[in-house]
Amino acid sequence: MVGISCTRYWWSLVNSTWLVKNPFSDNPTNWIRKIPAMMSNLKLGVELVNASNLTPKDEGSANSYVEFHFDGQKFRSTVKEKDLSPVWNESFYFNISDPSNLLNLTLEASVYHSSKGTQSRAFLGRVRLNGTSFVSYSDAVVLHYPLEKKGMFSSVKGELGLKVYLTNDPSIRSSNPLPDVESFPNSDSRSYQPQQQEAPNPVTNLFSNDKAESRHTFRHLPKENHHQHHSTASVTQQPVYYSTDEMRSEPQQPNIVQQPKVVRMYSASSSQPADYALKETSPFLGGGQIVGGRVIRADKPASTYDLVEQMQFLFVRVVKARDLPTMDISGSLDPYVEVRIGNYRGITRHFEKNRNPEWHEVFAFSRDRMQASVLEVVMKDKDLVKDDFVGIVRFDLNEVPTRVPPDSPLAPEWYRLEDKNGEKVRGELMLAVWIGTQADEAFPDAWHSDAATHVDSSAASSSLLRSKVYHAPRLWYLRVNVIEAQDLVPSEKNRFPEVYVRVQIGHQILKTKTVQSRTMSPLWNEDLLFVAAEPFEDHLILSVEDRVGSSKDEIMGRVIIPLNSVEKRADDRLIHSRWFSLEKPLPLDVQLKEKKFSSRLHLRLCLDGGYHVLDESTHYSSDLRPTAKQLWKHSIGVLELGILNADGIHPMKTRDGKGTTDSYCVAKYGHKWVRSRTIMNNLSPKYNEQYTWEVYDPATVLTVGVFDNSQVGEKDTNGNSHRDMKIGKVRIRISTLETGRVYTHSYPLLVLHPSGVKKMGELHLAIRFSCTSLMNMLHIYSRPLLPKMHYIRPLTVMQLDTLRHQAVTIVAARLGRAEPPLRKEVVEYMSDVDSHLWSMRRSKANFFRLMSVFSGLFAVGKWFGDVCMWKNPITTVLVHILFVMLVCFPELILPTVFLYMFLIGIWNYRYRPRYPPHMNTKISHAEAVHPDELDEEFDTFPSSRGAELVRMRYDRLRSVAGRIQTVVGDVATQGERIQALLSWRDPRATAIFVTFCLVAALMLYVTPFQVVAVIAGFYFMRHPRFRHRLPGVPINFFRRLPARTDSML
């Protein structure tokens, strides 16, 4: 976001400086040529305010000063003697030699202690600020940055107060540097003050877009006059001479409008458009300002909701009423309450013929949108034609108390109803009115003004819009081992029955293989796996059926087993089998005398709790624990998520002739699902809701999705609600997060449509992972990823796919029964239910991912080929020397390899990714995908397209499969040629190879291994003049060996 703001800042400079002031603004080429001259006025202003709690050096104090480095320039402040909390209030201005490179520049402020006796200095700490954090003067505030260490053994503490901003005022000159403090040990430090400068002209409209204007600006920590930029003392400056290297700036280059700087998480080869990339933000949250993942504490104490912006709401709790008057002729009253403030109103449900109703409903009105100073609570009588007025209670908002948790809830009070003229009337209403934040316990269940809809603003309809926390059911694998049956009685005596067992639990149905029983006691011994969810409401139904005809099956007996009676296990211990009596199924309308059936079914049943039931893709799993709770380990940390806001959401529906969206967020991690409240009619909604999960494994993924709520409003032709449309989702892997750091980023919501990839908006999140036990987390990396039952008795890939689909169906059904329901399409999208389906785009993406993995090996091979071809003689000679050393001292090979990998890892630490990865359109191969491939990916299964289109796609798939088939055949051919070396399929070739082996064995017995290795290495790395263009003898011999291709049909 800062990169985008800097680019817009450039254009605001162009617009405000040249298009307004330049008389040739009608000719764009005139002012474009003058951009370099205009941008040469751009300077970086730094106000050095103070420091606090510095490390003491001499006699418990310090003579501190600050040295600034920026863009080849170095400035120093005055020395504050014997002060651990010095105050400077000095200003410095740096020239920016190349504004196009501003985002890559770094301002470094180092604090030193000046020792006058030894004419030396001691390091007290430093602050480094990247160019992405520079803002205009109007947005700049004083921030106290924690001092950082220079090395591992540095002793540093304290904070440094700075105000950093950009200005383009041509009247401001850059500051003159001060002489080295060491060269003037006996000088009065107060005599070296920076030269007096005029107040900088604030850069107007630095962030001229609406998005930046809605963002919270930095807050001043010290109380200052916001209209006065800075004050410096006018003192006499002595002439000083400096070295040219100290003051020389980089040569100015022509300024080029730069694209917004965004976070790059991949190599340059996998870069994507800037609009699709992750953007870092620095919002002001409940805990303070977030700068670079660190929290700059605010003056006020942090709240429990420290990852979201605090939002104030006016809460109105309508409890009950008593002694209401009668309004109808019949003497009855159908009361309800209407809560109004400005243009917003909330309505309770009404009661029929009740003069003492009880509601217990809460209404929440956002303080940001209030346009009135009076709250009105109106009692009305429900009528067919027009609702009658009963009474009103008014509140002045200036008199409403503020409640901050953990204070106890505000006690409701009785208020006497008044008429429209303010006169007391009959009836009382119990209310509680207070001002609170989203941390209030009444917030989740309240009716919200930002979720109000013109269709129905009652509290009953708001239940579909509220924020909720869901817990997915605990899933078990049900293992049914069908062993055998005894004494079956077929309906036809003159044939042997073809018997199979049909097993059903809920909507899951599996069958054993069909067995022709000659002894009426068929044997199967098959394992069938199902997914069962707690609480166990379904029954296990097994029926033995006889296949009488091609499409006719006859039930020979059936048994129904409650799941509560099935034994549970958490390991691989043997479960005792049981015999179950089969009963004939009887019609429901026929009552017959109960008879015992002689047939029996031999089963072994158990609920396997040692597995983790996969209800999501294995690549995006959010929980890897087994089902049995006794196998769970202690948590290793806490994951906190703050859903801040969304911006620029694409309209998903049309209402009143305008495009709009009723958006809400869903977050999933482990068994806990959360749903934010729905913000109605808003394309840039603010949620500011915070949630917490316990983390048991860092190799898990948090998924956050944004959806459009279609449950309120118009219905389809059948009277059902429309499907909630997906807007986009974000995945965040926990292992990529640093412990204790707050990640505040704006994630693009990228969705693949039949027309191509599309950005549906941006989602602003704040994430923090806190580790409770570092040793436990490090120990997790040595443990298997899945529970041990997955390795002791592994499941097949086909079983895992089927069981995963059944698990997602069960979770969607259970969450769909909650209030408000989490709909099936939401659960399926969050669980990536269709990730296993065929996609040409995914196949290409995976192929290029594989090539990227092997690119390192290809690069090493190319480098070795260049060495062998003597492209660089010096490198080749050095490789020869290294090779001889390793051959003579083979015990150095492994240490050398590990040391080399250690050095690579240390070198790459400088370029480590500092931001969580996000979806990449280039890696996903979604930018240049063919429209027909997208249409095929979005096709249903089985296909619903026309025959000609399906035939064309089938032919294309055959051509791709043919190439894969050829590659697999070539690999098999090479393997068969290796086998043919000793198989005597080609007797002459085998005889040659056997003779060669004998000669080689005799020579190796008398020749040291090092000599053979050196000769072989030198042969492979021989000079090109000793090489031939034709293949070598070993390759020619190998290619002549026979394979089994001539035996293929």
Q: What is the pLDDT of residues 513-548, one digit of tens each?
A: 998 877 888 999 999 999 999 989 889 999 999 888
198 — pLDDT class (breaks 50, 70, 90): very low
Distances (CA, A) of 104 to 3, 131, 791, 923: 11, 6, 50, 26
pLDDT > 80? residue 184: no
456 — pLDDT class (breaks 50, 70, 90): low
Taking residues 827-853, what's their average pLDDT? 87
Residue 1048's pLDDT is 83
Taking residues 114-134, what's their average pLDDT? 85
* Size of the chain in residues: 1049
Q: How many angstroms separate the most distant Cα atoms in the chain?
A: 123
The DSSP code for 518 is S
pLDDT > 60? residue 918: yes
Task: Output the CA angle 495-499-505, nearest 5 degrees.
Answer: 155
Residue 20's pLDDT is 37
pLDDT in tens, 405-433: 777 888 999 999 998 888 888 899 999 99
Question: pLDDT averaged over the chain?
Answer: 81
Residue 29's pLDDT is 39
Contact predicate 381/334, CB 8 Å:
yes
Distances (CA, A) of 310 to 221, 323, 451, 551, 742: 18, 40, 18, 66, 17
15 — pLDDT class (breaks 50, 70, 90): very low
List the beta strands (DSSP E) in 397-518. 413-418, 424-436, 447-448, 468-471, 475-486, 498-505, 508-511, 515-516
Residue 256's pLDDT is 38
Q: Which residues of 181-213 are buried (b: 16+ CB within 10 A; e: fewer)?
A: beebeeeebeebbbeebebbebbebbbeeebbe
pLDDT in tens, 575-603: 899 999 988 766 544 444 555 557 899 99
Higher local confidence (pLDDT), 762 or 139: 762
pLDDT in tens, 650-702: 999 888 888 899 999 999 999 999 999 898 888 999 999 999 999 999 999 99
Residue 588's pLDDT is 47
Taking residues 918-944, what's their average pLDDT? 84
Contact predicate 533/810, CB 8 Å:
yes
Residue 919's pLDDT is 86
Q: Percentage of the chain with pLDDT > 90? A: 35
CA separation for the pair 232, 234 (Å, rounded): 6
Residue 156's pLDDT is 85
Place of tokens 């989203």: 438
Taking residues 1000-1021, what's their average pLDDT? 86
Radius of gyration of the chain from its Cα atoms, rounded to whole angstroms: 38
Contact predicate 480/530, CB 8 Å:
yes
pLDDT > 90? residue 1014: no
Higher local confidence (pLDDT), 475 or 265: 475
Comparing 105-119, 199-213, 903-917, the range with the smallest average pLDDT is: 199-213
Higher local confidence (pLDDT), 180 or 552: 552
pLDDT in tens, 58-79: 777 888 999 999 988 999 999 9
Place of tokens 């106290």: 144
Residue 262's pLDDT is 52
DSSP string for 867-934 = HHTTSSHHHHHHHHHHHHHHHH-GGGHHHHHHHHHHHHHHHHHTT---S-----TTTTT-SS--HHHH
Contact predicate 459/347, CB 8 Å:
yes
pLDDT > 50? residue 997: yes
pLDDT in tens, 366-390: 888 777 889 999 999 888 888 889 9
CA separation for the pair 303, 405 (Å, rounded): 9
Distances (CA, A) of 208 to 4, 42, 432, 687: 11, 18, 43, 24
pLDDT in tens, 496-513: 888 999 999 999 999 999
Using alpha carbons, select from 625, 597, 492 the residue that is nearest to residue 552: 492
Contact predicate 540/505, CB 8 Å:
yes
CA separation for the pair 308, 287 (Å, rounded): 8
**Residues in CB range of 826: below 8 A, 6 or more apart:** 666, 705, 707, 724, 726
CA separation for the pair 790, 792 (Å, rounded): 6
Structure tokens belonging to residue 358: 């009880």
Higher local confidence (pLDDT), 1019 or 579: 579
Structure tokens belonging to residue 302: 């942090």
649 — pLDDT class (breaks 50, 70, 90): very high
Residue 176's pLDDT is 65
Contact predicate 607/567, CB 8 Å:
yes
CA separation for the pair 408, 413 (Å, rounded): 15
- Which helix H or strand E contains 365, and what residues bound it? strand 358-366
Place of tokens 């002549």: 1040
Comparing 53-62, 606-615, 660-669, 716-725, the range with the smallest average pLDDT is: 716-725
pLDDT in tens, 19-38: 333 433 344 334 334 444 44
Q: Which residues of 873-901 are buried (b: 16+ CB within 10 A; e: fewer)?
A: eeebeebeeebeebbeeeeeeeeeeeeee
pLDDT > 50? residue 315: yes
Higher local confidence (pLDDT), 843 or 21: 843
Q: What are phi and psi of 90, to 5 degrees?
A: -115, 150
Percentages (nearest 5) of helix, strand, coil residues in the chain: 25, 30, 45
Taking residues 930-959, what's their average pLDDT? 86
Strand-strand pairing, 374-381 and 335-341: antiparallel
Residue 307's pLDDT is 86
Contact predicate 825/483, CB 8 Å:
no
